[in-house]
């Protein structure tokens, strides 16, 4: 039976992983994800799950060990943040190219310097093109759901790709929230045992990770890219199954009060919950504004986005990372290229907010919507604005 329990979301993520009975967990501490592996190691130490917890000496080794364990046929999990993710960077595209369904939680945190332990999305955005499935949670319940769904999606025979679940550092990792936890039997009904396609074992000898010459490299990259694009079908299928079994709906882009909206906000991660408050307030003031919460980042939901923005005059995209010297923040650049040439495409404006843990309030979103509403008549001079910079 499903139970509702209040706990810190990082602990909840670990509990959700435990429900999936991983075989090998390898992780290295870095704030703000640390409570996830800490709590998992408690679970292992108490014998609640039969798994090996490898206390590696770096994040590079954490992902490398997951890679080895997954190649041996084990269900594997790791978690990290920020500099830790960058330390894993070398191994990130290898895990996906080798089609190893490693699942990772990322407690999103700013990249140094200045060193800063608080939230933004510069860590995952730097790893955007590595071939991982990437989802963003906006609250604790979604974290729990996405972890359990994550193993099913990643390990699906038509997918076999690594998957990361992004939860904002502190805003989510350290917040206590009441969440529904499915019980063990329900999870087992939903999530089948992992049946790997090929493993390193003497009973069926294979070479994995071989050298690819130019003659086959395009084909290898095309295969990986197609694998990721095609994974969307499975993601949608798994989310439908989830809704049937647990009654909670998940969509690539979740719309909030978008009926007749002239101005749409598009958010990623936990700021979506704050933005809802702003939209309610604006609607009370008879301002036709709505909200799109992007949950599926890779593969990018092109069709869903095109459909979701239909009828809006202005689309204000919120980014929580800077693409220094570029044309827009990473989310906005993606949105613009997805909508380029679409008939009736709204005017797109881009605000970069909440860097390095800077607080984002409902009032900020109200101001942004009010400002963005004017973009319809007069396009802003700058391609993007880093919002709320003091002294500017």
Partner 1 sequence: MSIVENFDLYAPRLADKEEYFSAGHRACQGCGEALAIRLMCKALGKDTVIINATGCMEVISSLYPTTAWKLPWLHVAFPNSASVGSGVEAGLKVLRRKGRIPDRDVKAVSIGGDGGTVDIGIQALSGAMERGHDLLYVCFDNEAYMNTGIQRSGATPFGASTSTDPVGSVSFGKKAWKKNVAEIMVAHNVPYVATACHSYPIDFMNKVKKARKIKGPSYIHCLSVCPTGWRLLPELAIKAGRLAVETGIFPLYEVDNGQYRMTIRQERLRPVEDYLKLQGRFRHLDPEEIELFQERVNQEYKKLMSKIECLPSWSDL
Binding site for partner 1 (CB under 8 A): 23-24, 26, 50-52, 54-58, 60-62, 64-74, 76, 90-91, 94, 98, 199-203, 205-213, 216
CA atoms within 13 A on the CB side of 170: 15
CB burial string 336-358: b at 16+ within 10 A, e below: bebbeeeeebbbbbbbbbbbbbb
> Smallest distance from the beta carbon of 189 to partner 1, in angstroms?
20
> Smallest distance from the beta carbon of 12 to partner 1, in angstroms?
24
> Smallest distance from the beta carbon of 73 to partner 1, in angstroms?
6
Cα Rg, the chain, nearest whole Å: 21
Tell me which residue of 128, 144, 100, 121 sits closest to 4, measured CA to CA. Answer: 144
Closer to partner 1 by Cβ: residue 50 or 244: 50
Characterize the bridge pairing of strands 314-319 and 163-168: unpaired
> Smallest distance from the beta carbon of 15 to partner 1, in angstroms?
20
Closer to partner 1 by Cβ: residue 210 or 392: 210
Tell me how far apart the alpha carbons of residues 314 and 62 are, in angstroms, rounded to a whole number.
43
> Smallest distance from the beta carbon of 193 to partner 1, in angstroms?
8
Closer to partner 1 by Cβ: residue 212 or 344: 212
> Smallest distance from the beta carbon of 19 to partner 1, in angstroms?
17
The answer to whether 196 and 159 are in contact (CB under 8 A) is no
Closer to partner 1 by Cβ: residue 90 or 342: 90
Closer to partner 1 by Cβ: residue 151 or 384: 151
Closer to partner 1 by Cβ: residue 66 or 366: 66
Q: Give Cβ neighbours of residue 150 (< 8 Å, ≥ 6 apart).
A: 103, 133, 135, 163, 165
> Distance of CA 121 to CAs 174, 255, 293, 321, Å?
17, 21, 15, 5
């Amino acid at each position: 039976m499903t139970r509702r329990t209040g706990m810190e979301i990082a602990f909840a993520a670990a509990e959700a992983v435990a429900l999936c009975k991983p075989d090998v967990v390898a992780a290295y501490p870095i704030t703000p994800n640390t409570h996830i592996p800490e709590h998992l190691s408690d679970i292992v130490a108490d014998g609640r799950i039969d798994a090996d917890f490898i206390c590696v000496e770096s994040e590079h080794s954490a992902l490398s060990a997951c890679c080895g364990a997954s190649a041996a046929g084990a269900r594997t999990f790791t978690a990290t943040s920020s500099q830790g993710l960058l330390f894993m960077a070398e191994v990130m595209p290898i895990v996906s190219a080798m089609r190893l369904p490693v699942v990772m939680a990322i407690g999103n945190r700013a990249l140094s310097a200045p060193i800063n332990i608080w939230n933004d999305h510069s860590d995952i955005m730097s790893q955007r093109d590595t071939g991982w499935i990437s989802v963003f949670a906006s609250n604790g319940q979604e974290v729990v759901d996405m972890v359990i769904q994550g193993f099913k999606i990643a390990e699906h025979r038509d997918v076999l790709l690594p998957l990361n679940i992004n939860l904002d550092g502190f805003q989510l990792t350290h917040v206590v929230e009441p969440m529904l936890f499915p019980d063990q039997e329900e999870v087992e009904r939903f999530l089948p045992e992992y049946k790997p396609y090929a493993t390193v074992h003497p009973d069926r000898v294979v070479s994995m990770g071989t050298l690819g010459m130019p003659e086959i490299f395009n084909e290898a990259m095309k295969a990986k890219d197609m694998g990721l694009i095609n994974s969307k079908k499975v993601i949608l299928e798994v989310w439908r199954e989830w809704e049937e079994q647990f009654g909670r709906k998940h969509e690539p882009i979740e719309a909030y009060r978008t009926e007749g909206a002239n101005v749409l906000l598009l958010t990623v991660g936990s700021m979506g919950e704050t933005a809802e408050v702003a939209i309610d307030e604006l609607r009370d003031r008879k301002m036709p504004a709505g909200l799109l919460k992007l949950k599926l980042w890779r593969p990018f939901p092109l069709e869903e986005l095109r459909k979701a923005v239909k009828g809006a005059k202005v689309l204000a995209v919120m980014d929580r990372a800077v693409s220094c010297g570029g044309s827009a923040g990473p989310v906005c650049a993606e949105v613009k290229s997805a909508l380029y040439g679409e008939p009736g495409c709204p005017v797109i404006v881009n605000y970069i907010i909440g860097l390095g843990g800077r607080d984002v309030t409902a009032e900020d979103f109200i101001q942004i919507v009010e400002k963005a509403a004017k973009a319809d008549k007069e396009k802003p001079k700058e391609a993007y604005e880093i919002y709320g910079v003091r002294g500017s």
